[in-house]
Structure 1
Amino acid sequence: MSNNTYILTTKDFTILEAMADNWQGRNDRLVGLFRHKIQKAIVVFRDDLPGDVASINSRVRFRVRGGESDIRVISTGQATGPVGLFLPITTLRGLALLGLRQGQEIEFENTNGVPETMLLEAVEYQPEVSRPERQMFGQEPVTSLQRPHLRLVSGGMDGLHGELIGASDGFDDPGPSAA
Protein backbone atom coordinates (compact mmCIF):
# COMPACT_ATOMS: atom_id res chain seq x y z
CA MET A 1 0.00 0.00 0.00
CA SER A 2 1.10 3.51 -0.63
CA ASN A 3 2.19 5.73 2.26
CA ASN A 4 0.28 8.78 1.06
CA THR A 5 -2.18 10.66 3.19
CA TYR A 6 -5.87 10.77 2.39
CA ILE A 7 -8.35 13.57 2.98
CA LEU A 8 -11.67 12.41 4.42
CA THR A 9 -14.73 14.25 5.64
CA THR A 10 -15.83 13.58 9.20
CA LYS A 11 -18.76 11.59 7.79
CA ASP A 12 -16.56 9.46 5.49
CA PHE A 13 -14.07 8.85 8.30
CA THR A 14 -16.86 7.73 10.65
CA ILE A 15 -18.22 5.34 8.02
CA LEU A 16 -14.77 3.82 7.54
CA GLU A 17 -14.29 3.40 11.28
CA ALA A 18 -17.65 1.66 11.62
CA MET A 19 -16.90 -0.65 8.71
CA ALA A 20 -13.43 -1.49 10.03
CA ASP A 21 -14.88 -2.29 13.47
CA ASN A 22 -17.43 -4.61 11.90
CA TRP A 23 -14.96 -6.70 9.93
CA GLN A 24 -16.77 -10.04 9.95
CA GLY A 25 -17.44 -11.26 6.44
CA ARG A 26 -14.84 -9.01 4.84
CA ASN A 27 -11.57 -10.18 3.37
CA ASP A 28 -8.28 -9.37 5.10
CA ARG A 29 -7.08 -7.10 2.28
CA LEU A 30 -10.19 -4.93 2.58
CA VAL A 31 -9.83 -4.67 6.37
CA GLY A 32 -6.15 -3.81 5.95
CA LEU A 33 -7.01 -1.05 3.49
CA PHE A 34 -9.72 0.28 5.86
CA ARG A 35 -7.18 0.53 8.66
CA HIS A 36 -4.53 2.05 6.39
CA LYS A 37 -6.94 4.78 5.24
CA ILE A 38 -7.98 5.53 8.83
CA GLN A 39 -4.36 5.76 10.05
CA LYS A 40 -3.22 8.03 7.21
CA ALA A 41 -6.35 10.21 7.07
CA ILE A 42 -6.51 13.95 7.39
CA VAL A 43 -10.05 14.57 8.60
CA VAL A 44 -11.83 17.79 7.59
CA PHE A 45 -15.31 19.22 7.84
CA ARG A 46 -17.51 18.81 4.76
CA ASP A 47 -17.27 22.51 3.89
CA ASP A 48 -13.46 22.42 4.09
CA LEU A 49 -12.97 19.51 1.67
CA PRO A 50 -10.99 20.54 -1.43
CA GLY A 51 -12.89 20.10 -4.69
CA ASP A 52 -10.33 17.69 -6.15
CA VAL A 53 -10.74 15.02 -3.43
CA ALA A 54 -12.83 11.87 -3.90
CA SER A 55 -15.51 11.53 -1.21
CA ILE A 56 -18.53 9.28 -0.84
CA ASN A 57 -21.08 10.10 -3.58
CA SER A 58 -18.41 11.76 -5.75
CA ARG A 59 -18.32 10.93 -9.46
CA VAL A 60 -14.70 10.14 -10.32
CA ARG A 61 -12.66 9.27 -13.39
CA PHE A 62 -9.80 6.83 -12.76
CA ARG A 63 -7.44 4.32 -14.35
CA VAL A 64 -6.41 0.89 -13.13
CA ARG A 65 -2.91 -0.33 -14.06
CA GLY A 66 -2.60 2.33 -16.76
CA GLY A 67 -5.63 0.98 -18.64
CA GLU A 68 -8.59 2.85 -20.01
CA SER A 69 -10.37 5.51 -17.98
CA ASP A 70 -13.51 4.55 -16.12
CA ILE A 71 -16.11 6.80 -14.50
CA ARG A 72 -18.04 5.73 -11.40
CA VAL A 73 -19.79 7.15 -8.34
CA ILE A 74 -18.16 6.16 -5.06
CA SER A 75 -20.89 4.75 -2.82
CA THR A 76 -21.34 3.07 0.53
CA GLY A 77 -22.65 -0.01 -1.21
CA GLN A 78 -26.24 0.69 -0.20
CA ALA A 79 -27.22 2.44 -3.43
CA THR A 80 -29.32 0.70 -6.01
CA GLY A 81 -28.98 1.71 -9.59
CA PRO A 82 -27.76 0.59 -12.99
CA VAL A 83 -24.93 -1.93 -12.93
CA GLY A 84 -21.58 -0.22 -13.47
CA LEU A 85 -22.69 3.19 -12.23
CA PHE A 86 -21.50 2.82 -8.61
CA LEU A 87 -18.21 1.70 -7.10
CA PRO A 88 -18.87 0.79 -3.45
CA ILE A 89 -16.30 1.33 -0.72
CA THR A 90 -17.01 -2.28 0.25
CA THR A 91 -14.77 -3.20 -2.71
CA LEU A 92 -11.01 -2.72 -2.81
CA ARG A 93 -11.13 -0.36 -5.79
CA GLY A 94 -13.92 1.80 -4.34
CA LEU A 95 -12.17 2.04 -0.99
CA ALA A 96 -8.82 2.75 -2.66
CA LEU A 97 -10.23 5.82 -4.44
CA LEU A 98 -11.82 7.32 -1.33
CA GLY A 99 -9.81 10.28 -0.01
CA LEU A 100 -7.47 10.53 -3.00
CA ARG A 101 -6.69 13.86 -4.63
CA GLN A 102 -6.83 14.36 -8.37
CA GLY A 103 -3.57 13.01 -9.83
CA GLN A 104 -2.80 10.87 -6.76
CA GLU A 105 -2.05 7.15 -7.12
CA ILE A 106 -2.50 4.29 -4.70
CA GLU A 107 -1.06 0.81 -4.82
CA PHE A 108 -2.64 -2.17 -3.07
CA GLU A 109 -3.02 -5.92 -3.49
CA ASN A 110 -6.22 -6.97 -5.22
CA THR A 111 -8.31 -9.98 -4.13
CA ASN A 112 -5.95 -12.33 -6.03
CA GLY A 113 -2.88 -10.92 -4.24
CA VAL A 114 -1.63 -9.13 -7.35
CA PRO A 115 -0.35 -5.56 -6.85
CA GLU A 116 -2.66 -3.04 -8.47
CA THR A 117 -2.11 0.68 -9.05
CA MET A 118 -4.99 3.12 -9.40
CA LEU A 119 -4.77 6.73 -10.52
CA LEU A 120 -7.51 9.24 -9.74
CA GLU A 121 -7.63 11.33 -12.91
CA ALA A 122 -10.45 13.69 -11.99
CA VAL A 123 -13.26 14.37 -9.55
CA GLU A 124 -16.07 15.24 -11.93
CA TYR A 125 -18.70 15.86 -9.26
CA GLN A 126 -18.37 16.22 -5.51
CA PRO A 127 -21.46 16.79 -3.35
CA GLU A 128 -19.55 18.82 -0.76
CA VAL A 129 -18.49 21.39 -3.37
CA SER A 130 -21.81 21.54 -5.19
CA ARG A 131 -23.84 22.18 -2.00
CA PRO A 132 -22.58 25.78 -1.47
CA GLU A 133 -22.95 26.43 -5.21
CA ARG A 134 -26.60 25.31 -5.15
CA GLN A 135 -27.22 27.56 -2.14
CA MET A 136 -25.54 30.48 -3.87
CA PHE A 137 -27.79 30.12 -6.95
CA GLY A 138 -30.92 29.60 -4.88
CA GLN A 139 -31.42 25.97 -5.90
CA GLU A 140 -31.11 24.64 -2.36
CA PRO A 141 -32.66 26.33 0.65
CA VAL A 142 -30.41 27.58 3.41
CA THR A 143 -32.15 25.85 6.30
CA SER A 144 -30.79 27.99 9.14
CA LEU A 145 -31.99 31.25 7.58
CA GLN A 146 -35.16 30.00 5.93
CA ARG A 147 -38.60 30.84 7.25
CA PRO A 148 -41.02 27.97 7.82
CA HIS A 149 -43.45 26.99 5.07
CA LEU A 150 -46.38 26.91 7.50
CA ARG A 151 -48.83 29.77 7.12
CA LEU A 152 -51.37 30.54 9.82
CA VAL A 153 -54.76 31.73 8.66
CA SER A 154 -56.75 33.88 11.03
CA GLY A 155 -60.34 32.70 11.42
CA GLY A 156 -59.74 29.37 9.72
CA MET A 157 -62.13 27.60 12.09
CA ASP A 158 -64.92 30.21 11.85
CA GLY A 159 -68.33 28.69 11.39
CA LEU A 160 -67.50 25.34 13.03
CA HIS A 161 -68.00 26.50 16.62
CA GLY A 162 -66.71 23.32 18.22
CA GLU A 163 -68.86 20.89 16.22
CA LEU A 164 -67.39 17.46 15.66
CA ILE A 165 -67.77 16.49 12.04
CA GLY A 166 -69.10 12.94 11.60
CA ALA A 167 -69.98 12.43 15.28
CA SER A 168 -73.69 13.17 15.47
CA ASP A 169 -74.51 10.68 18.27
CA GLY A 170 -71.27 11.06 20.23
CA PHE A 171 -70.05 7.60 19.17
CA ASP A 172 -67.18 7.98 16.72
CA ASP A 173 -65.59 4.50 16.74
CA PRO A 174 -65.46 3.38 13.08
CA GLY A 175 -64.99 -0.27 14.05
CA PRO A 176 -62.35 -2.88 13.20
CA SER A 177 -62.58 -2.42 9.44
CA ALA A 178 -60.96 1.03 9.77
CA ALA A 179 -57.82 -0.48 11.29
Structure 2
Amino acid sequence: MKCQITSKDYMLLERHLTRPDLVQAISSLALALIRAKLSDAQLVMPDDISPDIATGSSRIAFSIDGRPEETRVLLHSESHVTTGLGLSVTSLLGATLLGLRSGQEVPLLRADGRLGRVALHRVAYQPEAQHEDE
Protein backbone atom coordinates (compact mmCIF):
# COMPACT_ATOMS: atom_id res chain seq x y z
CA MET A 1 0.00 0.00 0.00
CA LYS A 2 1.94 3.02 -1.29
CA CYS A 3 1.14 6.15 0.65
CA GLN A 4 2.77 9.37 1.77
CA ILE A 5 3.46 10.21 5.39
CA THR A 6 5.08 13.24 6.91
CA SER A 7 8.42 13.01 8.66
CA LYS A 8 6.57 13.91 11.87
CA ASP A 9 4.09 11.01 11.48
CA TYR A 10 6.97 8.69 10.60
CA MET A 11 8.86 9.66 13.75
CA LEU A 12 5.75 9.25 15.93
CA LEU A 13 4.96 5.82 14.45
CA GLU A 14 8.54 4.72 15.14
CA ARG A 15 8.20 5.99 18.70
CA HIS A 16 4.97 4.01 19.16
CA LEU A 17 6.86 0.84 18.24
CA THR A 18 9.43 1.46 20.97
CA ARG A 19 6.87 1.88 23.76
CA PRO A 20 6.42 -1.51 25.48
CA ASP A 21 3.09 -0.48 27.03
CA LEU A 22 1.67 0.48 23.63
CA VAL A 23 3.13 -2.52 21.81
CA GLN A 24 1.42 -4.81 24.32
CA ALA A 25 -1.88 -2.92 24.01
CA ILE A 26 -2.27 -3.06 20.23
CA SER A 27 -2.83 -6.10 18.08
CA SER A 28 -0.04 -7.97 16.33
CA LEU A 29 -1.84 -7.25 13.03
CA ALA A 30 -1.74 -3.50 13.73
CA LEU A 31 1.95 -3.73 14.64
CA ALA A 32 2.68 -5.51 11.36
CA LEU A 33 0.67 -2.91 9.42
CA ILE A 34 2.54 -0.03 11.07
CA ARG A 35 5.89 -1.66 10.32
CA ALA A 36 4.86 -2.20 6.68
CA LYS A 37 3.70 1.42 6.43
CA LEU A 38 7.05 2.64 7.77
CA SER A 39 8.99 0.56 5.27
CA ASP A 40 6.78 1.24 2.21
CA ALA A 41 5.57 4.83 2.60
CA GLN A 42 6.99 7.79 0.74
CA LEU A 43 8.39 10.18 3.34
CA VAL A 44 7.43 13.84 2.80
CA MET A 45 8.35 16.93 4.78
CA PRO A 46 5.31 18.47 6.52
CA ASP A 47 5.52 21.69 4.46
CA ASP A 48 5.49 19.65 1.24
CA ILE A 49 2.59 17.27 1.94
CA SER A 50 -0.46 17.67 -0.29
CA PRO A 51 -3.56 18.94 1.59
CA ASP A 52 -5.57 15.91 0.47
CA ILE A 53 -3.35 13.43 2.35
CA ALA A 54 -4.51 12.11 5.74
CA THR A 55 -1.90 13.05 8.35
CA GLY A 56 -1.85 12.89 12.13
CA SER A 57 -4.45 15.28 13.63
CA SER A 58 -6.32 15.46 10.32
CA ARG A 59 -10.11 15.36 10.33
CA ILE A 60 -11.09 12.81 7.70
CA ALA A 61 -14.29 11.44 6.16
CA PHE A 62 -14.25 7.78 5.15
CA SER A 63 -16.50 4.77 4.68
CA ILE A 64 -16.01 1.07 5.29
CA ASP A 65 -17.44 -1.49 2.86
CA GLY A 66 -19.75 1.09 1.29
CA ARG A 67 -21.52 1.91 4.55
CA PRO A 68 -22.45 5.52 5.47
CA GLU A 69 -19.63 8.01 5.75
CA GLU A 70 -17.95 8.56 9.12
CA THR A 71 -15.79 11.46 10.25
CA ARG A 72 -12.92 11.12 12.74
CA VAL A 73 -9.69 12.85 13.74
CA LEU A 74 -6.55 10.71 13.27
CA LEU A 75 -4.66 10.78 16.56
CA HIS A 76 -1.28 9.56 17.75
CA SER A 77 -2.15 9.86 21.44
CA GLU A 78 -4.37 7.14 22.88
CA SER A 79 -5.35 9.43 25.75
CA HIS A 80 -7.03 11.88 23.35
CA VAL A 81 -9.11 9.29 21.48
CA THR A 82 -12.78 9.85 22.34
CA THR A 83 -15.22 7.21 21.13
CA GLY A 84 -16.88 8.42 17.96
CA LEU A 85 -14.58 11.42 17.54
CA GLY A 86 -10.99 10.25 17.38
CA LEU A 87 -9.29 7.36 15.64
CA SER A 88 -5.92 6.09 16.84
CA VAL A 89 -3.25 5.60 14.19
CA THR A 90 -2.27 2.46 16.10
CA SER A 91 -5.59 0.79 15.26
CA LEU A 92 -5.95 -1.24 12.06
CA LEU A 93 -8.33 1.34 10.60
CA GLY A 94 -6.26 4.36 11.66
CA ALA A 95 -2.99 2.88 10.44
CA THR A 96 -4.63 2.06 7.10
CA LEU A 97 -6.02 5.57 6.61
CA LEU A 98 -2.86 7.44 7.64
CA GLY A 99 -1.07 8.61 4.50
CA LEU A 100 -3.92 7.94 2.07
CA ARG A 101 -5.05 10.52 -0.47
CA SER A 102 -8.66 11.66 -0.76
CA GLY A 103 -10.44 9.39 -3.21
CA GLN A 104 -8.29 6.34 -2.49
CA GLU A 105 -9.95 3.04 -1.65
CA VAL A 106 -7.79 0.26 -0.22
CA PRO A 107 -8.10 -3.12 1.49
CA LEU A 108 -8.84 -2.96 5.21
CA LEU A 109 -7.47 -5.77 7.38
CA ARG A 110 -9.88 -6.60 10.18
CA ALA A 111 -8.96 -7.87 13.65
CA ASP A 112 -10.28 -11.34 12.73
CA GLY A 113 -8.00 -11.46 9.67
CA ARG A 114 -10.76 -10.91 7.09
CA LEU A 115 -10.44 -8.19 4.47
CA GLY A 116 -12.84 -5.34 3.84
CA ARG A 117 -12.50 -2.06 1.96
CA VAL A 118 -12.05 1.47 3.25
CA ALA A 119 -12.43 4.60 1.14
CA LEU A 120 -11.03 7.98 2.16
CA HIS A 121 -13.56 10.50 0.84
CA ARG A 122 -11.90 13.72 1.94
CA VAL A 123 -9.51 15.40 4.32
CA ALA A 124 -11.72 18.06 5.92
CA TYR A 125 -8.86 19.53 7.97
CA GLN A 126 -5.14 18.93 7.81
CA PRO A 127 -2.85 20.81 10.21
CA GLU A 128 0.00 21.04 7.71
CA ALA A 129 -2.28 22.73 5.14
CA GLN A 130 -3.38 25.30 7.72
CA HIS A 131 0.22 26.43 8.23
CA GLU A 132 0.42 27.34 4.53
CA ASP A 133 -2.40 29.87 5.00
CA GLU A 134 -0.70 31.68 7.90
Task: Report the TM-score, using the length of structure 1 for normalisation.
Answer: 0.68
Q: CA RMSD in A?
A: 1.6
Does residue 80 (structure 1) correspond to residue 80 (structure 2)? The answer is: yes
| Contact 1:77–1:87 under 8 Å retained in 2 | no
Q: Which of 2, 7, 11 does residue 10 from structure 1 map onto? A: 7
Q: Give unmatched runs, 5+ long, in structure 1.
A: 136-179
Higher Cα Rg: structure 1 or 2? 1
More helix by share: 2
| Contact 2:93–2:108 under 8 Å retained in 1 | no
Distance 2:132 2:26 in 1: 36
| Contact 1:89–1:95 under 8 Å retained in 2 | yes
More strand by share: 2
Q: Deviations along 1:38-88, whole A, 9 cap, x unmatched?
A: 111111111000010000000000010111100110001345365311111
Does residue 29 (structure 1) correspond to residue 29 (structure 2)? The answer is: yes
Q: Deviations along 1:70-112, whole A, 9 cap, x unmatched?
A: 0110001345365311111121111111000011122132112
Distance 1:68 1:128 in 2: 27
Task: Report the TM-score, using the length of structure 2 for normalisation.
Answer: 0.89
| Contact 1:62–1:119 under 8 Å retained in 2 | yes
Does residue 58 (structure 1) correspond to residue 77 (structure 2)? The answer is: no
